[in-house]
Amino acid sequence: MHRRHFLATTALSHLPLWTLGAESSVANAFSPIKTKLAAGKDAVLFINGDSTSYEKHGPYYLFAKAIGDAMDCKVILHRWAEWNKGKPTGPKEYEPAETLRETGKATLNVCLATLPGSVASDMFAGARRAKAIDAIPTPDVCILHHGHNMRGFPQSLAGDRSSGRGMFLAAIGMTSLKWPGVPQAITNQNPWKNGDEYKTIFQSIETAAAAQPSITLIDSNSAFITAGKTADLYRPNDAIHPSDSAANSKGAQLVADALFASWTSAALNAAFTTPSWPAMTGESLVRSDFTTSLPADWKLEGDATTEMVDKAIAIRPNGSVQASLMKVLTKEETASISGKTISITALVRSAPDQVRAIGSFVCRSGGEIRTFLFPDLGTCKDGWLLLVGSGITVDADQPAPVYLKYYPAFSGKPSASNSPLLIQKVIITEGALPKGL
């Protein structure tokens, strides 16, 4: 497996060009794109990010300029235009292209799909995907830069990262379904200035990267800790965002330095691909396919009703927060998962006017009956979404029924909408990495 942590300790402006061929070079996600640019061929860099990647003095503007200078290439940046004066009310398309470097032997096009307040799956929403993802050329590398808005994931017991890890693996999987084999990298962002509130996300990212074969983990987090998380590394009166203004971009520079250290370490002419876990084949412990009909072992709960829509089962809540579609595992299925670490994947699509999709799994884990939840924390509505619970430890002894549920409108009060949740497939596999669909 190709997996490396990269931490920059030198400012970009002080990195000599000869370090591009340093003896410490390794194959990583930047190797193929670096090789193309070195050969004078045009290339595309795609970033899926949140507000910490958005600003014009932020890490990806700095990183793109550094690549341009190091590789002697023209750099054109396309930033997502939806953020408008503090609200996501702008057009769902890229802004007019901005040239960051005028000349060079090749052209690097940077697609900065960044939206403040977003989570890792949000660019796959039906209202965004067509222009944010489907309309752009196949990237040479994809970077996932998310986490700060994903801290609200549920935990079934202390240290449980099955939901948090699952959200990152879902985004990695959705990216690889669109662009099979394209190299992927993920950053662990930055720690919060006060306390360790970011710890749950940090651990989710680290364990997701450990589970996913051949992904490059870029350690932008440690530099902040080493530097003492001083006030000048953050925006004024802000404990989360790295400083990224014209007057002070020290925090953004630390992130850019980590990105560029990974670039510098990337070996030329080295193969690197990120395999698509949804396309992997292997033994499934439990599998349900809803593309032609409702399987007989799935039952309606509450006031839920179902119908076939777009080769999927559509579950309508009919005003009930408890409406769900439930499967109780058979004795044989329960035996197949008992004493194992498992992952659960569902391919679903919710509606723009409906509350967020959520799945649940109930089993005995750590000596107690527990409920593991895997929700969509973002706004991936009207777009197919992977809901993943990753690395759930199932006790060998299961004295009570083990079951799965998917809710179309689980909330504190009945939804005003009766739009359905569509489910196409559900699969349980062994290990922290989900496999197949």
Mean pLDDT value of segment 46-73: 98
The first and second tokens of residue 243, run together, are: 């400083």
Mean pLDDT value of segment 62-88: 97
The topology under which CATH files domain 5-277 is Rossmann fold (3.40.50)
pLDDT of the residue at 326: 98
Give 255-299 pLDDT, tens digit per residue.
Answer: 999 999 999 999 999 999 999 999 998 789 999 999 999 999 999
Identify the helix (H) or strand (E) that includes residue 17: none
> Comparing 413 with 185, which gets the higher pLDDT?
185
pLDDT of the residue at 9: 37
Q: What residue ranges do the domains of the chain occupy?
A: 5-277, 280-430
pLDDT exceeds 70 at position 18 = no
pLDDT of the residue at 291: 97
Mean pLDDT value of segment 371-377: 90
pLDDT exceeding 70 applies to what percent of the chain? 95
User: Taking Cα atoms as reference points, which of 263, 217, 250 lies closest to residue 17?
Assistant: 263
User: Distance between CA atoms of 155 and 162, rounded to whole angstroms?
Assistant: 8
Residues 6+ apart with CB under 8 A from 359: 344, 346, 348, 373, 374, 375, 387, 389, 404, 405, 406, 407
DSSP string, 174-198: HHHHHSTB--EEEE-----SSTTTT
Mean pLDDT value of segment 87-92: 96
Mean pLDDT value of segment 96-103: 98
CA quadruple 167, 146, 413, 355: dihedral sign: negative
pLDDT of the residue at 15: 43
Compute φ and ψ for 131, nearest 5 degrees.
Answer: -95, -30
Q: Please say whether the beta carbons of 6 and 71 come within 8 A.
A: no
- Which segments of 39-154 does DSSP mark as H helices, in order? 59-71, 126-129
pLDDT of the residue at 108: 99
pLDDT exceeds 70 at position 6 = no
Residues 6+ apart with CB under 8 A from 242: 52, 58, 59, 190, 224, 233, 234, 235, 250, 251, 252, 254, 255
The topology under which CATH files domain 280-430 is Jelly Rolls (2.60.120)
pLDDT exceeds 60 at position 3 = no
- CB hemisphere CA count around 168 (13 angstroms): 36
Distances (CA, A) of 122 to 13, 49, 149, 271, 416: 34, 10, 11, 30, 23
pLDDT of the residue at 315: 97
pLDDT exceeds 80 at position 230 = yes
Do 5-277 and 280-430 fold alike per CATH?
no
